């Protein structure tokens, strides 16, 4: 009897480790293996429902009536008055963020808040240029568009050169961020992607920078070249490819897509490449900034920098920017826009205080540039950017300037609000899909199942949404 009692417990409780192993097995069976570890499914689906709602709003906005031809809205006075109001808003939201260590001599050149601020006021000018048909500001707007593309080469070079991350998830992340919403918007509204020409420019700039940096790192790691020799070699190879394509009949290959793409790519044929060059020089420029403004303030250096910056902008304007015929200016633009760009950056970063300051309002606008860029054509303007929507009665082409301005503000508020939401759901899509790619890669290697058995699972997104 005692022996039988001793052997009686044929059924026993599972230990915590065994329970975890059992749960993991059930989880693997229930999820069919392929999506084990991906926690963003529900969030991704909800984001797509919001995207669908935004696309419906854009579709209705693009076809809104009443409206009137955009050419009838030409008004340079209101265009410049809008910039005065923007300047007041920038001053009112001017913020100084001192360094955490007050004794630090490090000076940050082109901080993220300042870059977003820069994008913000350029985007405002860009949208108002379209809204008020401000033809005389064409050359300035061309510089602003090229500055956006320049940032693609500049920012991505800094990322790839530092992180050396050429992974599939990085590519998927950036392709979704740049292309996902614009492509859906194009399909929903029935307009050509040519209307969103900045999108393919950014996409090409991203891949061109990725390849250039990959070549540079391979030259350093595989061929034993020094850092600078490998970077210079890769940048020169990239330049030769650019020249071989854009300065020969090979560029006519772009006509396969459209005449618009053919023109836009030539207008910014070197913008991203110049951004790469500036990115490569960033370390040296940062050393200069620390020398000039990190310790004792050098007033003479600061004012010299400002005068040189103003001189570069003047050189661009009086040499080329003043040209009233865009067909005369366009051919020289790819080679001279950098004068105005560098001139502005020299003035904007001409003291330690200025590098630590930014306008929060302009920063807000800058964070949503992609979405405001594509949605302006359907909510702020409509009928494929050919008309101005009338929401407030009496705000037509012959309406009172106050009523027309109120109509503009109302449409602008709706437009920006929808753009902010569009950015949020796009970043959610970007993050969750990128996580899915990571999970699929790990599942193919059997790593996720092993992690679950070990009691360690993915509990947060791997990659945050980057790039506005």
Residue 56's nearest CA partner among 189, 178, 190 is 189
Residue 104: which pLDDT band, with cuts at 50, 70 and 90? confident
pLDDT at residue number 79: 97
Q: Look-up: residue for tokens 């039988």?
A: 4
Sequence-separated contacts (24+) of 175-179 with Cβ below 8 Å: 175/203, 175/206, 176/426, 176/429, 176/430, 176/433, 176/434, 177/370, 177/426, 177/427, 177/430, 177/465, 177/466, 177/467, 178/202, 178/203, 178/206, 178/370, 178/467, 179/203
Residue 421's nearest CA partner among 94, 46, 64, 17 is 46
pLDDT at residue number 448: 52
pLDDT at residue number 467: 43
Residue 301 clears pLDDT 80, i.e. is over it? yes
User: What CA–CA distances, in Å, run from 304 to 212, 308, 340?
Assistant: 34, 6, 17
pLDDT at residue number 455: 55
Residue 296 clears pLDDT 90, i.e. is over it? no
Residue 445: which pLDDT band, with cuts at 50, 70 and 90? confident
Residue 183's nearest CA partner among 24, 55, 310 is 55
Q: How many CB atoms lie within 10 A of CB 133?
A: 17
pLDDT at residue number 68: 98
Whether this model's pTM surpasses 0.85: yes
For residues 330-345, give the mean pLDDT. Answer: 98
State what percent of residues in the chain have pLDDT above 90.
82
Tokens of 207: 């891949």
**Euclidean distance between CA atoms 73 and 133, whole angstroms:** 7
Domain boundaries, the chain: 37-297+351-453
pLDDT at residue number 15: 52
Note the pLDDT tens digit of each residue in 3-28.
444 444 444 444 544 444 444 444 44
Residue 281 clears pLDDT 80, i.e. is over it? yes
| pLDDT higher at 445 or 170 | 170
Residue 305 clears pLDDT 60, i.e. is over it? yes
Note the pLDDT tens digit of each residue in 159-202.
999 999 999 999 999 999 999 999 999 999 999 999 999 999 99
Q: What is the CA radius of gyration of the chain?
A: 27
pLDDT at residue number 37: 80
For residues 110-138, give the mean pLDDT. Answer: 97
User: What CA–CA distances, in Å, run from 93 to 11, 87, 90, 353?
Assistant: 70, 10, 5, 16
pLDDT at residue number 101: 81
| pLDDT higher at 45 or 39 | 45
pLDDT at residue number 454: 56
**Euclidean distance between CA atoms 391 and 192, whole angstroms:** 26
User: What CA–CA distances, in Å, run from 81 to 76, 77, 85, 335?
Assistant: 8, 6, 6, 31
Residue 157: which pLDDT band, with cuts at 50, 70 and 90? very high
Residue 450: which pLDDT band, with cuts at 50, 70 and 90? low
pLDDT at residue number 32: 53
List, in order, residues 6 or more apart from 315 with CB less than 8 Å away. Answer: 339, 343
Note the pLDDT tens digit of each residue in 225-266.
999 999 999 999 999 999 999 999 999 999 999 999 999 999
Contact 208, 238 (CB under 8 A): yes
Q: Look-up: residue for tokens 């008004």?
A: 75
Residue 276's nearest CA partner among 314, 312, 309, 233 is 233
List, in order, residues 6 or more apart from 344 with CB less than 8 Å away. Answer: 309, 313
| Mean of the per-residue pLDDT values of the chain | 90
Note the pLDDT tens digit of each residue in 350-375.
999 999 999 999 999 999 999 999 99
List, in order, residues 6 or more apart from 184 with CB less than 8 Å away. Answer: 51, 55
Lowest model confidence (mean pLDDT) among 22-31, 413-422, 445-454: 22-31
Render the burial of 70-106: b for 16+ CB within 10 Å, e for the rest: beebebeebbeebeeebeebbeeeeeeeeeeeeeeee
Residue 230's nearest CA partner among 293, 272, 280 is 280
Conformational region of residue 427, where left means phi above 0, alpha means psi within -120 to 50, and beta covers everything else: alpha
Most confident of 16-30, 399-413, 442-456: 399-413
pLDDT at residue number 430: 98
């Amino acid at each position: 009897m005692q022996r039988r009692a001793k052997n009686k417990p044929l059924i026993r409780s599972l230990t915590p480790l065994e329970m975890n192993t059992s749960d993991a097995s059930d989880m693997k069976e229930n999820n069919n293996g392929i999506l084990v570890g991906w926690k963003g499914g529900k969030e991704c689906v909800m984001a797509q429902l919001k995207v669908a709602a935004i696309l419906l709003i854009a579709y209705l906005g693009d076809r809104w009536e009443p409206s009137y031809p955009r050419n009838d809205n030409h008004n340079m006075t209101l265009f410049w008055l809008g910039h005065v109001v923007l300047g007041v808003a920038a001053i009112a939201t001017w913020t100084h963020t001192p360094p955490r260590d007050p004794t630090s001599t490090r000076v940050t050149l082109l901080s993220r808040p300042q870059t977003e601020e820069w994008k913000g006021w350029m985007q405002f000018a860009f949208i108002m240029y379209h809204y008020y048909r401000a033809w005389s500001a064409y050359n300035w707007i061309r510089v602003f568009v090229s500055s956006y593309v320049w940032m693609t080469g500049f920012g991505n070079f800094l990322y790839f050169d530092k992180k050396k991350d050429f992974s599939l998830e990085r590519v998927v992340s950036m392709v979704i961020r740049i292309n996902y919403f614009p492509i859906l918007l194009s399909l929903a509204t029935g307009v050509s992607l040519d209307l969103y020409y900045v999108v393919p420019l950014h996409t090409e700039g991203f891949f061109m920078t990725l390849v250039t940096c990959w070549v540079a790192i391979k030259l350093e790691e595989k061929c034993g070249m020094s850092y600078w020799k490998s970077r210079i070699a890769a940048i020169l190879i990239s330049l030769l490819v650019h020249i071989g394509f854009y300065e020969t009949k090979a560029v006519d290959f772009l006509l396969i897509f459209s005449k618009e793409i053919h023109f836009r790519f030539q207008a910014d044929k070197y913008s991203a490449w110049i951004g790469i060059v500036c990115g490569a020089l960033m370390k040296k420029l940062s050393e200069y900034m620390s020398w000039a403004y990190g310790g004792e303030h050098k007033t003479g250096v600061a004012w010299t920098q400002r005068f040189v910056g103003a001189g570069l902008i003047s050189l661009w304007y009086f040499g080329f920017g003043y040209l009233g015929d865009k067909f005369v200016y366009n051919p020289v633009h790819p080679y001279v826009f950098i004068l105005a760009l560098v001139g502005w950056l020299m003035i904007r970063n001409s003291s330690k205080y200025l590098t630590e300051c930014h306008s929060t309002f302009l920063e807000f606008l800058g964070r949503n540039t992609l979405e405001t860029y594509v949605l302006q054509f359907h909510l702020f303007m409509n009928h494929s950017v050919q008309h101005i929507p009338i929401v407030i009665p009496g705000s037509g082409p012959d309406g009172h300037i106050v009523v027309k301005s109120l109509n503009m503000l109302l449409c602008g508020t709706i437009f920006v609000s929808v753009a902010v939401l569009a950015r949020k759901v796009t970043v959610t899509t970007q993050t969750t899909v990128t996580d899915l790619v990571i999970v699929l890669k790990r599942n193919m290697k059997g790593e996720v199942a092993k992690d679950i058995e070990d009691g360690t699972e993915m509990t947060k997104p791997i990659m945050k949404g980057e790039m506005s």
